[in-house]
């Protein structure tokens, strides 16, 4: 009688856990890519909104070359619509002698796309205490 043939070893492809691991790995990569893309898009929107609001606020200045923003603009999304961003803060406009005079601003940025932002700015002089 001849010796029994050895059983063939199963290949990795025939093991179910390897396929499950591959699917989980693919899903994790896709999820990471989606999160990275969303953060990249949000960064582009905030940069475009900041630039548009600063330009709109600078239009209020009699001497636009000396306008300075003492703090970075921070935007908050609107309560009812995430496509409207709001920023409030202070801006320094130079007077006729070049002395900075502090003003308050409010800027609404209507976002139509990552590079398409419509700014609506209001600038008011601060009350002298």
Write out pLDDT tens, residues 35-74: 988 888 878 888 888 888 888 888 888 888 888 888 888 8
Contact 116, 47 (CB under 8 A): no
- Please check whether residue 5 lies inside any domain of the structure: no
Expressed as residue numbers, the domain containing 81 is: 12-125
Q: Which tokens belong to 114?
A: 């990552």
- Please check whether residue 21 lies inside any domain of the structure: yes
Contact 94, 100 (CB under 8 A): yes
Q: Which tokens belong to 122?
A: 């209001």
Give me the number of domains the chain comprises: 1
- Please check whether residue 6 lies inside any domain of the structure: no
Q: Is the pLDDT of residue 129 over 50?
A: no
Q: Is the pLDDT of residue 128 over 60?
A: no
- Please check whether residue 7 lies inside any domain of the structure: no
Please list the residues that pair with 87 across neighbouring strands.
107
Q: Find, among 72, 47, 60, the residue nearest to 120 by Cα.
A: 60
The Cα 68–Cα 58 span in angstroms is 9
Pick 94 or 125 by higher pLDDT.
94
Could you tell me the pTM of the whole model? 0.66
Q: What is the mean pLDDT of the chain?
A: 81
- Please check whether residue 36 lies inside any domain of the structure: yes
Per-residue DSSP letters for the chain?
A: -PPPPPPPPPPGGG-HHHHHHHHHHHHHHHHHHHHHHHHHHHHHHHHHHHHHHHHHHHTT-SSGGG-B-SS----EE-SS-TTEEEEEEEEEEE-TTS-EEEEEEEEEEEEEETTEEEEEEEEEEPPP-
Contact 45, 53 (CB under 8 A): no
């Amino acid at each position: 009688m001849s010796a029994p043939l050895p059983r063939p070893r199963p290949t990795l492809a025939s093991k179910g856990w390897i396929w499950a691991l591959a699917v989980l790995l693919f899903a994790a990569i896709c999820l990471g890519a989606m999160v990275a893309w969303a953060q990249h898009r949000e960064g582009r929107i905030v940069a475009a909104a900041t630039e548009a609001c600063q330009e709109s606020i600078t239009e209020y200045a009699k001497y636009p070359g000396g306008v300075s923003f003492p703090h970075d603009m921070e935007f908050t999304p609107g309560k009812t619509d995430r496509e409207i961003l709001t920023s409030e803060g202070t801006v320094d406009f130079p007077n006729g002698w070049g002395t900075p005079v502090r003003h308050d601003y409010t800027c609404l940025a209507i976002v139509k796309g990552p590079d398409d932002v419509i700014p609506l700015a209001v600038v008011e002089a601060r009350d002298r205490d």
